[in-house]
Amino acid sequence: GFVLNTRDDTDRVALAEQLQDQAFHDPLTGLPNRALLGDRAEQAFTRAQRTAGAVALMALNIDAFKLINDGVGHGGGDLVLCEVAERLLVSVRPEDTVARLAGDEFVVLMDPAPEPEEALALAERVLDVLRHDFCIEGVAHRITASIGIAIGAMPHTNFDQLLSDADVALYCVKRAGKDAVQLFEASMNVNARERFRLQTELRKAIDGEGLKLHYQAECD
């Protein structure tokens, strides 16, 4: 007859669990990644439809993170990201989901969605906690962040659209001086999205050496 190797079975189960964990979590901070955030957001949208509620997202970027990386090195930058993750976890509500999408891009799924005033107050609390000095290799560094918030429900929006709206609100904060929070409003759409698109395309063009400088002599 067949002989079952329970150790091999246990190893396979452990490997499967490890691979699943890697597929849904950020390897640096251990936070949920975009895939897991999107899954939880879809569940939140489904619940919101049943209860005539809404879904709320908070998008957060660390201000001038490139300068931080340049100043303390990528290892120090990783320490900052991990500390930001921990501070976010203790600042938001227990039922909220804190995720890291990439780089210094963090997103909080506020579920159940609070009223706009409560969402703004929660974001202000996050900003306040992040303003406390970060100690890297014995040196204190002051960190600030910018936050955009978007609140909506189906059929008017979905996860990708809501995340885009939160990014637009965050971009408005960056332009206005950083270290603040902004709630997305429909009036931001046209101008902010166009500026956001142009900035993204210019950054890609610069990174890809897609810009050329031409000299035009003045005419007499």
- Scanning the chain, the segments in alpha helix (DSSP H) are 6-24, 34-51, 65-91, 116-130, 159-176, 189-207
CB 144, CB 131: distance < 8 Å? yes
User: Which residue type occupies 203?
Assistant: R
Q: The tokens of 145 are what?
A: 């962040």
**Catalytic pick among 104, 111, 165, 167:** 104
215 to 149, 203, 207, 212: CA distances (angstroms): 44, 22, 22, 10
128 is known as an active-site residue:
no
61-66 CB contacts, 8 Å cutoff, 24+ apart: 61/104, 61/105, 61/106, 61/145, 61/146, 61/170, 61/174, 62/104, 62/143, 62/144, 62/145, 63/143, 63/144, 63/145, 63/146, 63/174, 63/178, 63/179, 64/178, 65/103, 65/104
- Which residues are known catalytic residues? 104
